[in-house]
Structure 1
Amino acid sequence: MADLARLAGRNFLVIGRAGMDLYADPPGTQIEQATRFTTALGGSSANIAVALTRQACRAALVTCVSDDAVGRFCLNQLDAYGIDRAHVRAVAGEARNSLAVVETRADNCQSVIYRNNAADFAMTVSDVEAIDYAPFSALITTGTVLAAEPSRGAAFRAFDLARAVGLPLIFDVDYRPYSWPSADVAAQNYSRAAALCDVIVGNDVEFGFMAGHPDRGLDKARSLITQGAQIVVYKMGEKGAVTITPKGEFATGIYPTTALKPTGAGDSFLGTFIAALASGVPVKDAVLRGSAAAAMVVARVACAPAMPTTAELDGFLGQHPGPTG
């Protein structure tokens, strides 16, 4: 079990993909009716890294991008957000960066994601063994990185190397069925990763998936605490969240807002929640800050550009009447 006090160093290593998001413009336009699009940095891990930097943390990304114009777009965007990309490797050949074509619509939002021969899955054990883990405060990864080899083996090797120097391991389940060869392989690897981690965040569907039945998700989340996890956040959409620790559990509500889209909330929650813990905020207050950041992001266009700064988040919390529940 790692010491979560190490989070106070506010310097995070994030493993996983960076991609390009194309948003039908103006907001509300359906993809099939669109004649123009705006671009933004995408990919769950890149979005989490942005959320961390917007909350005055440092973040370094470990991934691969395609050695082409889309890959260079991602590199330029990482630079613009102040994310350390010293551990991002460009891969040539047929590998291609993740590309998402998305609508800014709250209802019936369509998202078409291209992940064939994804460049980020080319990350190898050599990539993660080249990193000095000691300066970092925690290792953060999302479930997508485990969906294919050699990325999966590299991620588990990174877990071992990070644990060897005392880093807390933080896991955002982030289940994307289209990335996996089968549901059984996904469930097996998610459960393996979750059992190794100190902080696990996922939604009710994801925990239910890991448990093998949608009605047993909360039981699965609770069982991870008995296996050694220190914090498990079980998110339930509009019903809020249940957070479980060795000292007990508590429920929290959401911050109602006028949503423009459903995407980006989970990445914003994770990055902001971890940044709050790093600032010494109690767990319940950290969950609420993550929930507030999620509410802000779904009310804004795009994902990475929508991540709130600390000042914006504090302003929102100061003006909002408070969470439901």
Structure 2
Amino acid sequence: MPNLIDAIKSRKFVVFGRAGMDMFADPIGTKSEVAETFRADLGGSSANICAGLVKLGCEAALVTSVSDDAVGRFAQNRLTHYGVDTQYLRVLGGEYRLSLAVYESCIDDFQNVIYRNGAVDFQVTNEDVDRVNYDAFGALITAGTVFAAEPSRSSTFRAFENARAANMPVIFDIDYRPYSWPSPEVAAEVLSRAGEASDLIVGNDEEFGFMAGGIEKGLDKARELAASGKLVIYKMGQDGAITLSGDQEIRTGIFPVTAVKPNGAGDSFMAGLLAGIADDLPLRDAVLRGSACASIVVSQPGCAPAMPTSVELEAFLAAHAGPTHP
């Protein structure tokens, strides 16, 4: 198996999955159904991870398809704005459309309306993944939604094979979104297959439980994956996280903040975790960096624009005495 930690320390990542447009009601606290003003920015799990990584001093290239229209060009422009490498984006015409999320900065009765009919990011092909220069990167990252439909499901598994051939580890954010999948049964089978093929797996208790056939079985599933040689991060929301590496289990807390929305936390956690490992921090501290990034993002509007820079992350950590005790 390729050395996961050394690969992450290269700070160079190729990321598979979707870019989208986020529209969020303005100002904070405004419900979408009565809003007169919305702000727009980059969205989509994989695009958010890319933006978060770049803000923390890493390099990230996104492999996806975007629509040949104004919204697709908006996403391309925002990716460029955040410093994400877009050389592997394919612009696709016809009726395929970029994903759109409409939400609010409001925790009570939070609403996030997703438009994914004819989603263009599902159209990534074997040809798209084969033209990536895998030798230019240290590690491959993907979020689970990419596996929800063809041809991107098969092409991303092909990318896993290409990564293996290049001695590159695979990092997998389970990121289960039921609305994207044809059935829970298909999702459980495919996401489990992706987990088995990965070296680092990040997910919450519900996602591991889903893969295992019941939330009460989720931690056992995470332990099973760790016992097979994988690094596993088992997130539990307000209860923190358990990091499983071999027979070692590290429990960490969270950084309490006043949240204005729940979304974007997982993407920011992934970016902070990887940047922390790249900075040669102990694994516990790297996980806490991820937790701090998640707290920062849920306390601000938007996802990509809320991802912290290294300076902002250090300022946040300096202003907080420490995480909760798990």
* 1:45 counterpart letter in structure 2: S
1:289 partnered with 2:315 = no
1:108 partnered with 2:109 = yes
Determine the structure 2 residue equivalent to 1:173: 174
Aligned-pair CA distance for 1:83: 0.3
Counterpart-to-counterpart distance in 1, 2:214 and 2:247: 26
Counterpart-to-counterpart distance in 2, 1:297 and 1:31: 19
Determine the structure 2 residue equivalent to 1:258: 258
Gaps of 5+ in 1: none
* 1:311 counterpart letter in structure 2: V
1:101-180 counterparts in 2 under 5 A? 101-180=102-181
* 2:304 counterpart letter in structure 1: A
Aligned-pair CA distance for 1:321: 1.4
Determine the structure 2 residue equivalent to 1:200: 201
Determine the structure 2 residue equivalent to 1:191: 192
Gaps of 5+ in 2: none
Determine the structure 2 residue equivalent to 1:249: 249
Cα distance per residue 1:271-296 (max 9 Å; x no partner): 11011111211111000000011111
Determine the structure 2 residue equivalent to 1:66: 67
Determine the structure 2 residue equivalent to 1:217: 218
Assess if the C-alpha contact under 8 Å between 1:64 and 1:89 holds in 2: yes
Q: Secondary structure at the match of 1:121?
A: helix
Assess if the C-alpha contact under 8 Å between 1:24 and 1:102 holds in 2: yes
Cα distance per residue 1:244-301 (max 9 Å; x no partner): 0014101100001111111111000001101111121111100000001111111111
Aligned-pair CA distance for 1:35: 1.3
Assess if the C-alpha contact under 8 Å between 1:195 and 1:228 holds in 2: no
Q: Secondary structure at the match of 1:23?
A: strand
Counterpart-to-counterpart distance in 2, 1:228 and 1:196: 11
Determine the structure 2 residue equivalent to 1:300: 300
Determine the structure 1 residue equivalent to 2:312: 312
Assess if the C-alpha contact under 8 Å between 2:227 and 2:247 holds in 1: no
* 1:9 counterpart letter in structure 2: S
Determine the structure 1 residue equivalent to 2:79: 78
1:19 partnered with 2:11 = no
TM-score (norm: length of structure 2) = 0.98
Q: Secondary structure at the match of 1:86?
A: coil
Q: Secondary structure at the match of 2:182?
A: coil
Assess if the C-alpha contact under 8 Å between 2:7 and 2:168 holds in 1: yes
* 2:127 counterpart letter in structure 1: S
Q: CA RMSD in A?
A: 0.7
Cα distance per residue 1:36-75 (max 9 Å; x no partner): 2110100000000011001000000000001101000000
Aligned-pair CA distance for 1:226: 2.2
Determine the structure 2 residue equivalent to 1:29: 30
Determine the structure 2 residue equivalent to 1:226: 227
* 2:324 counterpart letter in structure 1: T
Counterpart-to-counterpart distance in 2, 1:132 and 1:54: 23
Moved more, 310-319 or 196-205: 310-319
Aligned-pair CA distance for 1:87: 0.3
Assess if the C-alpha contact under 8 Å between 2:229 and 2:245 holds in 1: no
Alignment: residue pair count:
324
* 1:219 counterpart letter in structure 2: D
Assess if the C-alpha contact under 8 Å between 2:273 and 2:286 holds in 1: yes
Counterpart-to-counterpart distance in 1, 2:108 and 2:146: 29
Aligned-pair CA distance for 1:228: 2.9
Aligned-pair CA distance for 1:168: 1.2
Q: Secondary structure at the match of 1:191?
A: helix
Runs of 4+ in 1 over 3 A off after TM superposition: none
Aligned-pair identity (%): 57
Aligned-pair CA distance for 1:25: 1.2
* 2:271 counterpart letter in structure 1: G
